[in-house]
Amino acid sequence: MANVVVVGAQWGDEGKGKIVDWLSERADVIARFQGGHNAGHTLVIEGAVYKLHALPSGVVRGGKLSVIGNGVVLDPWHLIEEIETVRAQGVEISPETLMIAENTPLILPIHGELDRARETANSVAKIGTTGRGIGPAYEDKVGRRSVRVADLADDATLEARVDRALVHHDALRRGLGLPEVDRAALLAALRDVGPKIQPYAGPVWKVMSEARKAGRRILFEGAQGALLDIDFGTYPFVTSSNVIAGQAATGTGMGPGGIDFVLGIVKAYTTRVGEGPFPTELFDADGQRLGERGHEFGTTTGRKRRCGWFDAVLVRQTCATSGVNGIALTKLDVLDGFEELKICTGYELDGERLDYLPIAAEAQARVTPVYETMAGWSDSTAGARSWADLPGEAVKYVRRIEELIRCPVALLSTSPERDDTILVTDPFSD
């Protein structure tokens, strides 16, 4: 059976939650492979709204195994709170339906404190982080001083891990004018949360391998978007992990041969939260209209998203770096009623025409978009479930996007409701 990776192909907030939920009904295993609770997925199911941050989107579907892979950094206190919130909405979560990789690094309170202190102190160029400790947790992972899920089961190991981390963090905190970490309080908090997390811990790599051999359908769920990738995003205004599809393999322990189809989620226009370059950003009435009609506020932070025209250059680039086989185009209905629409087909920089975004931050900030103008449509696309339900100009817009990004549309989403989806290519088909 085919295994599918879902990645955001812009700066995040593309509508991955609905698409993952739509696909998860037909999957057996749903795995998160990177990011932390800075991710925000909103699911609307039969009128009920679920807002997930750490939990895989599959938890709202019965009979599925949801997996948090080792590529994630996990705030255990937030996870327990989120589990209780979802349970209160009638969703049952147990060790039979949720597994956390034993080698998953933990986000500690000291990570959030460091994250916020750095952002406050940085008057030169703020990154625009969520302040939830994701970046510092990843730093500790590669610095080999993380506390991991497995460490919660052995007190001597836990103390050793904490002591190693504090050598680093206390020095940093002194430099930022923060008090040194209360070691006893941190250990007490970890000893308290450990028994709540341990029942979910397991060898995810082994379970994933067995699921693949048994022919079970696996859905890999990414967070954020490829333009926030630590290597291929608009550095330094990026997240602290690899977001592109290749991370699905290393972030769960599944070999790359286990990936059969990569689905890139793409919004019919472009948005971004936080700082960093944004070539097609609009500061006029059209930008305001996109934000209002698209309800462009972050699920996690509530921050207003910056809005702009569709950037085919960036999406073509992310489709290449993630090996996207097909895209799911979302929020087409937000464009209803525009007399004309613009698509960015290239950039200009110092008189030179570019068909990609340069890697240097200084150059990224100075590129200007080259636009192609298309006619809009007055009829509604909201709720369309077949191509015949779409206005002709809307179909032309979608087809032009396919041409420019050199990748076909596999799914077309026309509202937040999961059934308002036009299926062109089934990602799970062999």
- Closest C-alpha among 239, 304, 308, 302 to residue 271: 308
Amino acid at 266: V
Q: Cα–Cα distance between 127 and 365 in angstroms, integer? A: 14
Task: With beta carbons less than 8 A apart as the criterion, state whether 184 and 191 touch.
Answer: no
Q: Cα–Cα distance between 147 and 106 in angstroms, integer? A: 6
Phi, psi of 404, rounded to the nearest 5 degrees: -75, -35
At residue 164's C-alpha, the angle toward residues 159 and 167, to 5°, is 125
At residue 292's C-alpha, the angle toward residues 36 and 37, to 5°, is 5
> Which DSSP letter does residue 221 get?
E
Q: Which of 13, 151, 229, 333 is catalytic?
A: 13
Amino acid at 57: S
Q: Which of 21, 37, 41, 333 is catalytic?
A: 41
Q: CA separation (Å) from 116 to 8, 121, 139?
A: 26, 9, 15
Task: With beta carbons less than 8 A apart as the criterion, state whether 34 and 72 touch.
Answer: yes
Burial class (CB in 10 A: 0-12, 13-18, 19+), 430: exposed
Catalytic residue list contains 41: yes
* CA 306 from centroid of its chain's CA atoms: 17
Q: Cα–Cα distance between 49 and 148 in angstroms, integer? A: 32
Phi, psi of 11, rounded to the nearest 5 degrees: -100, 25
Q: Cα–Cα distance between 110 and 173 in angstroms, integer? A: 9
3-state SS assignment for residue 266: strand
Which residue do the tokens 């997240």 mark? 239
Task: With beta carbons less than 8 A apart as the criterion, state whether 386 and 400 touch.
Answer: no
What would the two tokens of residue 263 be?
């689905």
Q: Which residues are catalytic?
A: 13, 41
